[in-house]
Chain A
């Protein structure tokens, strides 16, 4: 005979499995600090590439003038101002990444805990029947 409680539990678990169990399992497989570090590293790469593209566009905007000025300007000063801009952008991206990563890790951990608790409950329900 159909056990209503078991069916409810299994439906809830199946919905969760379909929605994001795989992804959450992958997140939780890391330690929190490792997961955050990995995301930060990815963000550093993403921010660097994005800054490179932006700088490229800036240079291409007025390429001839830029090439003329580059021989006259103080390159160290120019590099310093570019570096400051890069660090500001990197800082913003890293702060956002840090907050998002912590939120995601905690959420994944919570969902996985609930999932395994349900799994245990289901196992108990089967055990009770036998």
Chain B
């Protein structure tokens, strides 16, 4: 445990020291992964699949504010949708504009959640999202989470119906509209996921704020279990075509992620909990103080084992240096030769 805490402190120090370089790198990676995932799941416009274009745009995102990545990803989805069918692009644009007008104006801080949720869905571990948001945020983040879930299901809807859209001619525009809107409004899977995620988030947030020992761990376990059980129950009742194995595996991996988040964000020592009671003029205070686990980052000490001790007389040293600077190595060798000659003469 001490070793892990030392690693954590080292990581913190490393981040604090190199924040100016790390932040653009992280933004670059998020942008790159987002664009690759969108290209992988949609990829109808060949120009956008060009690796050079993807790299240039991701590089551009690294020097822009965080929310710019979300805007770029939204445009990416929009352009791919347009390439598939104009009607799809209209529906997607309408959903994005409504989201922007009605929600993101209020909470620009949580915008990244909308991007990260579909990404987590793409790597099959979306169950970590509501739990992590419950641990680090407030129930308000639930709105961003909902938007992320909707975006994922819209992308999925288009990729599931590629053949249908491709087979239709340009005249059957209203039919394409109907497929898109029905796909969104009649999507039981989307609504179930949305409600279950929101319930999980609220549950995790409530337990995390309780004054109980190991509140964060209890919240993680309760949140993930509730999430998995509710999804499985809904799967059996409504036949939503959720994969049971995917839910089980995803929950297991999500547990690891949540524990990692807990370790980095909230690491306390419950064995040293202190419960104190005091009063002032107006109130009685019942305070429970839990100390943080803090270990100073180990300092690197460079110990030189092979120290060079040159014991050269001052006069001689002076001689050598003057020779080296004026004529280089050849002169020193000449001097050695002269010494040899003198010795031979004496002999």
Contact A57/B94 with A46-B101, A50-B101 known, Cβ cut-off 8 Å: yes
B181 touches A47 (CB 8 A): no
- Complex contact B106–A57 (CB within 8 A): no
Closest-by-CB residue of B relative to A58 is: B181
Interface of B is mostly: helix
Complex: A60 Cα to B94 Cα, angstroms: 12
Contact of A42 with B by CB under 8 A: yes
Known: A53-B94, A56-B94, A100-B106. A61 touches B177 (CB 8 A): yes
Residues of B within 8 Å of A83, CB to CB, are none
Determine whether B98 belongs to the interface, using a CB cutoff of 8 Å to chain A. yes
Structural contact, A62 and B178, CB atoms closer than 8 A: yes
**Which residues of chain A are within 8 angstroms of B94 by Cβ–Cβ distance?**
53-54, 56-57
Partner among A47, A50, A63 whose Cβ is within 8 Å of the Cβ of B97: A50
Contacting pair B181 A63 (CB below 8 A)? no
Which residue of chain B has its CB nearest to the CB of A65?
A: B174
Q: How far is the CB of B176 from chain A (nearest CB, A)?
A: 10
B177 in complex: contacting residue of A54, A60, A93, A97, CB < 8 Å = A60
Does A64 belong to the interface (CB within 8 Å)? yes
Q: Does B60 contact A (CB under 8 A)?
A: no
Complex: A53 Cα to B94 Cα, angstroms: 6
Interface of A is mostly: helix
Whether B98 contacts A53 by the Cβ 8 Å rule is: yes
Contacting residues, chain B, for A46 (C-beta < 8 A): 101-102, 105
Q: A46-B101, A50-B98, A53-B98 are in contact. Are A61 and B106 (CB under 8 A)?
A: no
Shortest Cβ distance from residue B77 to the other chain A in the assembled complex, whole angstroms? 17
Contact size range, B: 10 to 19
CB nearest to B98 among chain A residues: A50
Nearest chain B CB to A38's CB is how many angstroms away?
13
Decide yes or no whether A125 CB sits under 8 A from chain B.
no
Given contacts A50-B97, A56-B94, contact A63 B174 (CB under 8 A): yes
Instruction: Identify the closest chain B residue to A42 (Cβ).
Output: B105
Other A-B contacts than A50-B97, A53-B98, 7 sampled, CB-CB below 8 A, are A46-B101, A46-B105, A49-B97, A56-B94, A57-B91, A60-B174, A63-B177
Chain A count of residues within 8 A CB distance of the other chain:
18
**Contact across chains for A57 and B181 when beta carbons are under 8 A apart:** yes
By beta carbon, the residue of chain A nearest B106 is: A100
Which residues A106-120 have CB closer than 8 A to chain B?
none
**Quick check: B102 and A47 within 8 Å, CB to CB?**
yes
Quick check: is A102 within 8 A (CB to CB) of the other chain? no
Residues of B with C-beta under 8 A to A97: 106
Q: Give the distance to chain A from B22, nearest Cβ to Cβ, in Å.
A: 17
Decide yes or no whether A87 CB sits under 8 A from chain B.
no
Interface positions, chain B 84-101, Cβ under 8 Å from A, are 90-91, 94, 97-98, 101
What is the distance, in angstroms, from A63's C-beta to the closest C-beta of chain B?
A: 5
**Which A residues lie within 8 Å of B90 (CB)?**
60
- How far apart are B141's CB and chain A's nearest CB, in angstroms? 15
Task: Confirm or deny: A96 has a beta carbon within 8 angstroms of a beta carbon on chain B.
Answer: yes
Contacting residues of chain B (135-191) with chain A, CB-CB under 8 angstroms? 174, 177-178, 181
- Chain B residues within 8 Å of A50, by CB: 97-98, 101-102
A93 vs B102: C-alpha distance when bound (angstroms): 8
CA distance A96 to B98 in the complex (A): 16
A-B contact pairs, 20 of them (CB 8 A): A46-B101, A46-B102, A46-B105, A47-B101, A49-B97, A49-B101, A50-B98, A50-B102, A53-B97, A53-B98, A57-B94, A57-B181, A60-B174, A61-B174, A61-B177, A61-B178, A62-B174, A64-B174, A93-B102, A100-B106
